[in-house]
Amino acid sequence: MSFKPGRAALTACLAAGLVVAVPAAAHAGAEYSRSWMKADAGGSRLHIRQAYVDEDGAVVFRDSYYSAGPNGASVRHVYSRAR
């Protein structure tokens, strides 16, 4: 296993592009976003949590998980909402 700086950079760039492109950011100006990243010899991981208000007035949470390592890359999104 060797660390691939290109994979870590690609993961970070893709995540940054997604954060900028999220259409919920323009909705009523109410959004919360937090991120966490780790890169080591085994690969890199990025977790982004966003909370925003949708058009029905419900609070929506989106957790995005990005990972890249010697065996490939993956993306997972988890949505939840509060009434």
Query: In the CATH scheme, what architecture does the domain 5-82 have?
Result: Roll (3.10)
Which residues share a beta bridge with 73?
68
Per-residue pLDDT of the chain (83 residues; tens, 9 = 90+): 465 666 666 666 555 555 545 544 444 557 888 999 999 989 999 999 999 888 888 899 999 999 999 989 999 999 998 76
In whole angstroms, give the CA distance from residue 74 to residue 40: 16
CA distances, 55 to each of 24, 26, 27, 52, 81 (Å) = 9, 11, 8, 10, 13
CA distances from residue 48 to 3, 57, 82 in whole angstroms, order as listed:
22, 22, 18
Torsion angle in degrees (nearest 10) through CA of 69, 71, 4, 73: -50
Locate the domains of the chain by residue range: 5-82
What is this structure's pTM? Answer: 0.58
pLDDT of amino acid 45? 96
